[in-house]
Amino acid sequence: MSRTRLFGSLCALVFLVNFARVVFAPLVGEFIDTFGIREGTAGLIVTLAWLGSAAPRLPAGWALTRFTRRSVILVSGGMLTAGALGVALAPGVLALMVAAFAIGLASGVYFVAANPFISELFPQRVGRVMGVHGMASQLAAVVAAPAVTVALWYDWRYAFYGLAVAAAASTVLFVVLAKRTDLPDAGAGDTDFLAAARGEWKLILAGVVLMGLTSFVWQGLFNFYELYMIDKNLPRSTARNLLTVIFVAGVPAFLVSGDLADRLPHVPYLLGIVTAFVGGVVLVVVAEGLAAVIAASVVVGFAIHMLFPAGDTYLLASLPDKSRASAYAMFSAGMMSAQAAGSWVVGEAIEAGATYDAVFLALAGGLALIVAAYAVLYRLGRVPGGAAGATRAA
């Protein structure tokens, strides 16, 4: 059977995996009303979903040295189904927290297993397929809030009942198609997790520093974007919708970036994307008036979402078969850790009396220095990683 159909089932799964993470944010008010909790506890529920996404990445990488890619993806689908059902049936806040964390775990396991698997299914089109896969994930971020609005006409729990059914069906479909598809054995030699990490540490570090610190700035920006726009004297409803503009701009960015990642040298392309993101942040700071702010928001959204398929392509296309999944898991865990404190740092700086403009200009300036350092190291031949178009065995 065609690998394309199998890839389609993975796109369905990644949509559900990301939907499960992002759907908690628009439900914070419902959690407060349903369970009689305060804002801090409701925020912790959302945080647990994202902590769960970060927690299993290294263990999942080790599991990939012992079990097949499809087995680990199957487990992630089962975890997602159970977690969604747990949220739908949660009788109290503790059960809700456990289920939210389980949903996060499912997403972390999925991404560590699925991304290397996809790159091995289509070794000559890594960027293209990572872009399509990422676009499917990004669509979930766009439709989450409208889906919650529809569910609230009845009961917010219906959103998670539907998620559980869809996750179970998509997982079964993936298993059926995987059994009928001629799968690559590219990861058969990836059996030593620590050896893979040691052997590819330079590439892992290069990816973590560049992508992790860029994502650090992104986390700080988008989590405070609504408040920042209100600080710019925009109405609250407009400020909230501008964040949606950023996410919508990211949908085509995945597809465009994936195609370009297959054609352009990886490191210069990544540096170009980060430079565009830095420019977008500066534009947001200096923009005055709604039209200018919207345009700057589109630039930021498009640039940052171009980074993700380009970064994955850089790592996955450069790593050898014998260490791809293990090394990618190490990179994924490192990048998640590097970006995690972005919101906290921005929040602390604002609380200490700094202005949003000053904080984001400082972060943009720091990121510009990192780009300059990478450019110099690249010219000296000190940045690891292959060029676009490199071939490897399926």
DSSP state of 233: T
- Taking 90 as the threshold, does the pLDDT of residue 37 lie above it? no
Tell whether the torsion through CA atoms of 104, 109, 114 and 116 is positive or negative.
positive
The 10s digit of each residue's pLDDT in 94-119 is 999 999 999 999 999 999 999 999 98
Q: Higher confidence at residue 195 or residue 391?
A: 195
Verify that 225 and 338 share a domain, yes or no.
yes
Verify that 254 and 290 share a domain, yes or no.
yes
Mean pLDDT of 335-362: 87
Tell whether 139 is covered by a domain.
yes
Q: Specify the 3-state DSSP secondary structure of 36.
A: coil
The 10s digit of each residue's pLDDT in 329-344 is 999 988 888 887 787 7
Residue 120, phi then psi, degrees to nearest 5: -85, -25
pLDDT band at 199 (very low <50, low <70, confident <90, very high): confident
5 contacts 179 by C-beta, under 8 angstroms: no
The domain total for the chain is: 2
Amino acid 389: pLDDT: 46
Tell whether 384 is covered by a domain.
no
Amino acid 393: pLDDT: 36
Amino acid 205: pLDDT: 94
305 vs 138: CA distance, rounded Å: 9
- The radius of gyration computed from the CA coordinates of the chain, to the nearest angstrom, equals 20
The 10s digit of each residue's pLDDT in 279-303 is 999 999 999 989 999 999 999 999 9
Amino acid 392: pLDDT: 42
Helix (H) or strand (E) holding 375: helix 356-379
Tell whether 59 is covered by a domain.
yes
Where residue 320 sits, what CATH number does that domain have? Answer: 1.20.1250.20
Verify that 166 and 216 share a domain, yes or no.
no
Which residues have a Cβ under 8 Å from the Cβ of 265 and sit 6 or more positions away?
A: 387, 388
Among 135, 153, 179, identify where a domain stops: 179
Mean pLDDT of 376-388: 83
The 10s digit of each residue's pLDDT in 202-241 is 999 999 999 999 999 998 898 788 888 988 989 888 887 8
DSSP state of 387: P
Which residues have a Cβ under 8 Å from the Cβ of 292 and sit 6 or more positions away?
A: 283
Task: Give the count of beta carbons closer than 10 Å to the beta carbon of residue 169.
Answer: 15
Verify that 144 and 222 share a domain, yes or no.
no
387 vs 205: CA distance, rounded Å: 18
pLDDT band at 391 (very low <50, low <70, confident <90, very high): very low
Tell whether 278 is covered by a domain.
yes
Task: Give the count of beta carbons closer than 10 Å to the beta carbon of residue 38.
Answer: 9
- Taking 90 as the threshold, does the pLDDT of residue 256 lie above it? yes
Tell whether 154 is covered by a domain.
yes
Verify that 154 and 197 share a domain, yes or no.
no
- Taking 80 as the threshold, does the pLDDT of residue 273 lie above it? yes
Which residues have a Cβ under 8 Å from the Cβ of 391 and sit 6 or more positions away?
A: 123, 124
Amino acid 394: pLDDT: 35
Verify that 352 and 253 share a domain, yes or no.
yes
- pTM here is 0.85
Which residues have a Cβ under 8 Å from the Cβ of 229 and sit 6 or more positions away?
A: 238, 239, 242, 293
The 10s digit of each residue's pLDDT in 149-189 is 888 888 999 999 999 999 999 999 999 999 988 888 766 67
Verify that 212 and 85 share a domain, yes or no.
no
Tell whether 365 is covered by a domain.
yes
HSE, CB side, 13 Å, CA atoms: give it for residue 111.
30
Q: Higher confidence at residue 269 or residue 194?
A: 269
Share of the chain above pLDDT 90, in %: 57
Verify that 174 and 203 share a domain, yes or no.
no
The 10s digit of each residue's pLDDT in 131-153 is 999 999 999 988 887 888 888 88
Which residues have a Cβ under 8 Å from the Cβ of 86 and sit 6 or more positions away?
A: 95, 98, 99, 102
Among 152, 179, 206, identify where a domain stops: 179
145 vs 74: CA distance, rounded Å: 27
- Taking 80 as the threshold, does the pLDDT of residue 250 lie above it? yes
CA triple 228-229-230, angle to 5 deg:
90
Verify that 277 and 172 share a domain, yes or no.
no
- Taking 80 as the threshold, does the pLDDT of residue 386 lie above it? no
Verify that 254 and 174 share a domain, yes or no.
no
pLDDT band at 197 (very low <50, low <70, confident <90, very high): confident
Which residues have a Cβ under 8 Å from the Cβ of 329 and sit 6 or more positions away?
A: 57, 58, 60, 61, 62, 64, 112, 193
By 3-state DSSP, what share of the chain in percent is helix, strand and coil, each rounded to 5? 80, 0, 20
148 contacts 159 by C-beta, under 8 angstroms: yes
Amino acid 387: pLDDT: 54
Mean pLDDT, rounded, of the chain: 89
Amino acid 282: pLDDT: 97
> What residue numbers bound the domain in which 175 lies?
3-179
62 contacts 193 by C-beta, under 8 angstroms: yes
204 vs 115: CA distance, rounded Å: 15
pLDDT band at 29 (very low <50, low <70, confident <90, very high): confident
Amino acid 186: pLDDT: 64
Verify that 199 and 269 share a domain, yes or no.
yes
Verify that 248 and 373 share a domain, yes or no.
yes
Among 122, 153, 179, identify where a domain stops: 179
228 contacts 356 by C-beta, under 8 angstroms: yes
161 vs 238: CA distance, rounded Å: 32
Tell whether 391 is covered by a domain.
no
**14-18, 63-67, 121-125, 317-321, range with greatest mean pLDDT:** 14-18
Tell whether 390 is covered by a domain.
no
Which residues have a Cβ under 8 Å from the Cβ of 153 and sit 6 or more positions away?
A: none
